[in-house]
Chains A and B, each alone.
Chain A
Amino acid sequence: MMLHTFNSSDAYRLHGHRPSATDLILLIEDAVFITTQQDLTQDHRIRVLREDLAQRGLPEPRAITCITYTDWVRLTVESQHCLTWTR
């Protein structure tokens, strides 16, 4: 399993197709705005950093898993590779 981290909507638009079905996708920083623009509830690979949602005044999406920094560290340790897609 690989962890693909996206930090902006642009990064997700450009590279969101790259994670495979068994990978995880973590939205951080301005990428959390995607939760307000797209219906990601069917994609069970998606994780959203709770702290970055809160900092932007966004509510936690109901059907998407929100994680803490501690969870992020755990995912990083558990993943074979961590890929960060920035823009």
Chain B
Amino acid sequence: MTELLFILSHPPGASVYAQEAFDAALAGSAFSNIAILFVGAGCLQLIQPKLAVEAHERKDFQRGFKALADYDVHDVYGCEDSFKQFGLHNQALVIQPTLLTRVDISARLKGAQRVLCF
């Protein structure tokens, strides 16, 4: 059972939400069974950054998504509707999440012990 469900809804770069969420998820994975759900513009975090780190003046934290499995984070989900909205089906992504429908997302929310929105 998912003890902590992290919902990531902010795009990378526009604010610190995205990176803060990733850092919090890694910290949470040390003591809980966690899951990550990308929704809305948060799905854009999954796109492989193309600019050099210096160009966007922020840490290239998205590469860290590949290490999630090493932190025992295997439940990584994405909103199917958001993927369609942002045309992500044919994009090169850092990692490929399991896509969930709106109904699936509701079920995941209900099943989680705690939900944290970033």
Contacts and interface: CB of A to CB of B under 8 A. Distances in A.
Do A and B share a complex? yes
Interface of A: 2, 14-15, 17-18, 20, 80-86
Contacts of A85: 9, 117
Contacts of B10: 86
Interface of B: 7, 9-10, 17, 39-41, 102, 105-106, 109-110, 112, 114-115, 117
Contacts of A14: 9, 40-41
A36 B106 CA distance: 29
23 contacts: A2-B110, A14-B9, A14-B40, A15-B9, A15-B40, A17-B102, A18-B39, A18-B102, A18-B105, A80-B110, A81-B109, A81-B112, A81-B114, A81-B115, A82-B115, A83-B7, A83-B109, A83-B115, A83-B117, A85-B9, A85-B117, A86-B9, A86-B10
Nearest to A17: B102
B60 to A, nearest CB: 24
Contacts of B102: 17-18
A66 to B, nearest CB: 24
Given A2-B109, A20-B106, A84 B39 contact: no
Given A2-B109, A14-B9, A85-B117, 6 more contacts: A14-B40, A14-B41, A20-B106, A83-B115, A84-B117, A86-B10
Contacts of B39: 15, 18
A20 B103 CA distance: 9
Nearest to A82: B115
